[in-house]
Amino acid sequence: MIDETYLNEILQERQQKDSSMVVDQHSPFKRSPAIQFSPLKYYYPDPRYIFKSKLHKYENPDTVSVLGTKGEYRVAIIEGYLAFNFDGSDYKINVYKSHTRTGEFYHTIWFTDKTTGYETYGVGRYIDFQLEADPEFIYTLDFNKAYNPYCAYNSVYTCPIPREEDHLDLKIKAGEKNFH
């Protein structure tokens, strides 16, 4: 059973994202008049896809090349991973540190799963991640907040493609679905 307060928060976030896609000047739908907005599609929020985990930081974080959707390479650092158990199987998902074109650093999670290319965007989905200073901090990994990058809506954009190591061998039936 899903908590009503949480459900309302998720549904409100989704409504705000739709609104932003319509009015925000940086929206992928503002970049080309040929691309028409229609409400984004989501799985119904499911508490089975919410997990708690410490960030298991690597002693020597690995710098990797990540391919973008236009064939360019980007540099990212694998800071560590979050661990979770789903239906009796253990999984881990990488947390990356990357940077914007303006040089600002951010942390993120990129992943694919068994819905990728079928029910969800063929490149993969993302989850925002806010790094906390406390090494014992317990993070909430909420796949209900998984979203498509801008390149899912408009090919003008280029987005990092999750690496092979970022594939989860299960169906994550949570978060945003295919746009088209």
Section 95-103 average pLDDT: 87
What is the per-residue DSSP string for the chain? Answer: ---HHHHHHHHHHHHHHHHHHHH-TTSTTSS-TTSPP----BPPP-GGGEEEEEEEEEEEEEEEEEEBTTS-EEEEEEEEEEEEEETTEEEEEEEEEEE-TTS-EEEEEEEB-TTBTTTB-SS-EEEEE---S-TT-EEEEEGGG-B--GGGT-TTS--BPPPGGGB-SS----SB----
pLDDT digits (tens, 9 = 90+) for 100-147: 778 889 999 999 999 999 999 999 999 999 999 999 999 999 999 999
pTM given for the model: 0.94
Q: Which residue has the higher pLDDT, 34 or 158?
A: 158
Section 12-38 average pLDDT: 90
pLDDT at 81 over 80: yes
pLDDT more than 90, % of the chain? 88
pLDDT digits (tens, 9 = 90+) for 37-67: 999 999 999 999 999 999 999 999 999 999 9
